[in-house]
Structure 1
């Protein structure tokens, strides 16, 4: 599954398809269809429920979906592990996803880290390169959390506060090519903006090949910076959080500028909102 090699300034990981040893197109599309199609399928169920079912049946369907949210397949489930491994193995080779780690030796399997992954875009699909079942990073388990609204890094400091309270290193991560894998559209106007703020989420339409959940095949490069060590502080002040957040933003900007030319984005400018 994994090919790795040293490169100037760090370690490079790639899926084997590039070397003729891994996933074929069918396996990659099937993996992405299972993973990303589930999102579209659930959206379709909710829309169908509200539009076509009587109230009593709609409540039954929504109740069932709510129950399934609280009965996840955990990491000990054999079927869940096999399915997740299949998705992680073949999804990376589809685009393909390449992982650049500046200092692989800085990551220890017995420590916890807080990764700040940017940009979110429509769906942060490149984050699959960091998953434990993908086999790139030397970490036994990775969990993904997202804020209730997308892509405003300057005012999103909760992940920094968590890192400070737990005393875990903060890791800047940037994915080049993330914004090219889906086309998307959202309504404009003040009414839609007010609605988005009220529900704390921005509804958008997005699609890939032929409008399907399958994204466009565009190479993604996930660049992982060096961990930023933080002193454990169970009750950080807002000023302390802002200072650590500024340190993270600066590290992310430096990471972007350092790698953009060698990856093929020399003219790309980073604007942090």
Structure 2
């Protein structure tokens, strides 16, 4: 039975819903709309606009791999504050980050749409700059999305960069420090395990971010976002099932995963693509000191990787009771 939203909803909550709706729209519809708009312009009397943009695009094609192009006005837009309050979302600091250093931060878990990573690192809605003065966050994203006209500029305005080694090296090469390169380590594949009550992380064989930290002498920072997997329900797809096999095959072909998820709607609470109103608390852990090693050995990478996993587990165990995680629940790695 469908549970409809009441008519007498405060305007504050309506604005929060609208803010999240446009964000979901930007994930699911905006890429297709941008491509259609670009092609459509070529077929109208405004074709010159599309040609000029294409010329600009060619000249600017390396920018997503060279730190992007942040626009503070967009990062501080009031729209993101309404989106923050929808869940609500809180950023928790557990240790200082020295602005004279560079950092590689592992963000866990991916969830369905990485709402916590977006709000905390791509906007100022949770006060990242106030909590960590002098630190500029950059969140990595699949290069595929930066090949979409118009969308690429929107993504870069929030501090997003491509998830390529060249891109990470550029961010971490700032000699004056103050850069935080955030990597959602589990990636799109981890989204296939994102469902309420799940704490399985795709991390056991993901070591590229550790090697990157060693090569640049950047401290490693574990970040865990409590509530990230609670935002959507997902159709059951255990490993080995026909659905998981199809999803993995599609991911190999397309580069992105396609979880079958659902949440609530705009005017009813029973089904839809909006996330549930459930709190997200993103906890930033203590940095792990890393000695710069230009050509780290497999043993050095493995050793630091194990230390990172240990610190991530400690972060989770220390804070889980505060955020309604059962005492018998622990992180699992695959």
Output the TM-score relative to the length of structure 2: 0.60
Residue 89 of structure 1 pairs with residue 81 of structure 2: yes
Residue 262 of structure 1 pairs with residue 298 of structure 2: no
State the Cα distance separating 1:259 from its structure 2 match.
1.0
State the Cα distance separating 1:40 from its structure 2 match.
1.1
- Computed over aligned residues only, the root mean square deviation of the Cα atoms, in angstroms, reads 3.6
In structure 2, the partner of 1:241 is: 301
| Contact 1:33 1:214 survives alignment (8 Å) | yes
Name the SS of the counterpart of 2:91 in structure 1.
strand
State the Cα distance separating 1:191 from its structure 2 match.
4.6
State the Cα distance separating 1:144 from its structure 2 match.
0.7
208, 233, 256: which one aligns with 1:183: 233
Residue 138 of structure 1 pairs with residue 198 of structure 2: no
Structure 1: unaligned runs, 5 residues or longer: 1-22
Residue 196 of structure 1 pairs with residue 246 of structure 2: no
In structure 1, the partner of 2:193 is: none
- Matching of residues 109-188 of structure 1 within 5 Å: 109-127=99-117, 128-131=119-122, 133-134=124-125, 135-136=127-128, 137-139=131-133, 140-146=135-141, 149-151=188-190, 152-185=202-235, 188=243
CA distance in 2, matches of 1:130, 1:240: 29
Output the TM-score relative to the length of structure 1: 0.72
27, 30, 33: which one aligns with 2:15: 27
| Contact 2:247 2:258 survives alignment (8 Å) | no
CA distance in 1, matches of 2:276, 2:214: 38
In structure 2, the partner of 1:98 is: 90
**Count of paired positions:** 238
| Contact 1:98 1:221 survives alignment (8 Å) | yes
State the Cα distance separating 1:172 from its structure 2 match.
0.7
CA distance in 2, matches of 1:192, 1:97: 30
| Contact 1:37 1:213 survives alignment (8 Å) | no
CA distance in 1, matches of 2:251, 2:297: 30
| Contact 1:177 1:218 survives alignment (8 Å) | yes
CA distance in 2, matches of 1:189, 1:123: 18
Name the SS of the counterpart of 2:307 in structure 1.
helix
Name the SS of the counterpart of 1:266 in structure 2.
coil
State the Cα distance separating 1:217 from its structure 2 match.
0.6
| Contact 1:94 1:217 survives alignment (8 Å) | yes
User: For residues 252 and 25 of structure 1, do their structure 2 counterparts lie closer, same or farther at Cα, with a shift above 3 Å needed?
Assistant: same
CA distance in 1, matches of 2:234, 2:245: 19
| Contact 1:172 1:225 survives alignment (8 Å) | yes
State the Cα distance separating 1:36 from its structure 2 match.
2.9
State the Cα distance separating 1:108 from its structure 2 match.
2.4
State the Cα distance separating 1:184 from its structure 2 match.
3.1
CA distance in 2, matches of 1:118, 1:204: 17
CA distance in 1, matches of 2:29, 2:256: 19
